[in-house]
Amino acid sequence: MKKVLITGAAGFLGSHLCDRFIKEGYYVIGMDNFITGDEKNLAHLNNHPNFEFIKHDITEFIKIDGELDYILHFASPASPIDYLKIPIQTLKVGSLGTHNLLGLAKAKKARILIASTSEVYGDPLVHPQTEDYYGNVNTIGPRGVYDEAKRFQESITMAYHRFHGLETRIVRIFNTYGPRMRLNDGRVIPAFMGQALRGEDLTIFGDGSQTRSFCYVDDQVEGIYRLLLSDYEYPVNIGNPHEISIKDFAEEIIKLTGTTQKVIYKDLPVNDPMQRQPDISLAKKLLGWEPKVDRAEGMKITYDYFKSLTAEELYKSEHKDFKNHIKS
C-alpha cells in the first residue's frame, strides 16, 4: 500500500483529497495545525484503518516514520480574510513550510505536489491566463503576502527539482467550491450563500464587472490526482474556464436561493483581480482532464451543504481565534 502525506488535511481541499486517496487504496497521513482548517472536515475518517492524523505546524521540523511515496502540500491560508489577518504565517507556510516538505521529500525519495494558485498571475494583463504568463503582482500590496508566498513556493520547488533531481509537480488552482467550504472565508460563493441564508443583502465589491470562473471540488481533485501521477514537472492550471461576472453570478445566487434581498455595492479591495479565467489547454493535452460538473449542479450541491449547517455555524462571524496561533 502506497503512503501519502497531505498537509492542510483539515482544510476544504485537503480533506477532499484525503477522501480521494483513501478511495484509491492509499494509506493517508493527514497533517494540519488547525489555524484555518477544521477537524470536523476529517471526523468521518477518525477510525479509518488507512488514515492517521498528525497535528503539526509544518514551519517546524517535520518527522515521518517509515517510507513515504507522495507528499501533497496544501497547507496555507487560502482566503483574503485569513491571509490579511495572519500575513506573517502565510509567508512562513509558503517559504519555511515548503522548504521543510521539500527536504522531507528528498530524504524519503518521495514525489511532491505543491498547491500553487491562480493568484500567482496577480491582476492579469493577459486573458485567459496560460501557464507561461509571468503575472502582474504588487509585491508590497496587502495581497502580496499570499501571492508572493505561492510564487516563492514554485521557485524553491523548481530549484529542488533542478538541483536535487526531486520529483515535483505544481498545480495552479483556480477558484474552487463545494461542501466543506467555510461560510465566512471571504470568498464570493460562501459570502453570497451565507448572506442569502441569513437574510442579508448580497454584497458586491466594485461594480460587479470583474469576472471569476468556478470549478467544483470533485473536478479539481480529479485534476490534481492526474497531475500527481503524470510525468510533468512544470505548473499546470486546473480550473473551470467558464467565466462569469460577479454581477451576473449574484443574480444566479438570488435565483438559486430564492432570496428577496437586494444587491449592495461597496468599494473594490486593493489589487483585487478584475479577470480570472484559466486556459486549461495544457491540462487537456497532458492529463486528458477537463471539468465535468456544470455550475448549476455544483452550486445546488454546495447550497444544500450550507443549508445543513447549524444556526451557530451560520451566524458566527469568526472561524478561529487567530490570536491563539500567532507567533513572531
**Catalytic member of 146, 160, 216, 225:** 146
Task: Yes or no: say if 153 and 98 are a contact pair by the CB < 8 Å rule.
Answer: yes
**Averaged pLDDT of the chain:** 92
Q: Please tell me the pTM assigned to this model.
A: 0.93
What is the C-alpha R_g of the chain?
Answer: 19
> Domains plus CATH for the chain?
3-324 (3.40.50.720)
For the question of residue 305 being annotated catalytic, the response is no
Which whole number is the average pLDDT over 105-113?
98
Angstrom distance (rounded) from CA 295 to CA 215: 8
Per-residue confidence (pLDDT) for residue 99, from 0 to 100 = 98
**What is the predicted pLDDT for the residue at 261?**
82
Size of the chain, expressed as the number of residues it contains:
328
Q: Identify which of 309, 300, 114, 292 has the alpha carbon closest to the alpha carbon of residue 220.
A: 292
Here the cell at position 119 is 493568484
Using CA atoms, how far apart are residues 258 and 193, in angstroms rounded to an integer? 11
155 pLDDT more than 70 = yes
Q: Provide the pLDDT for residue 157.
A: 98
- What is residue 323's predicted lDDT score, i.e. its pLDDT? 42
Categorize the per-residue pLDDT at 144 as very low, low, confident or very high, splitting at 50, 70 and 90: very high
d(CA 177, CA 175): 7
CA distance 24 to 211: 35
Q: How far apart are CA 161 and CA 233, in angstroms?
A: 8
Report residue 259's pLDDT band, with 50, 70 and 90 as the boundaries: confident
Show Cβ contacts of residue 101 under 8 Å, excluding neighbours closer than 6 positions: 7, 58, 62, 71, 73, 112, 114
pLDDT at 183: 84
Q: How far apart are CA 108 and CA 189, in angstroms?
A: 39
Using the predicted structure, report yes or no on whether residue 122 has a pLDDT greater than 80: yes
pLDDT computed for residue 282 by the predictor? 98
Q: What is the dihedral of CA 208, 211, 217, 218, to 10 degrees?
A: 130
Tell me the longest C-alpha to C-alpha distance in the chain. 58
247 burial level (CB within 10 Å; 0-12, 13-18, 19+): middle
Mapped onto helix, strand or coil, the DSSP state of residue 229 is coil
Cβ–Cβ < 8 Å for 212, 276: yes
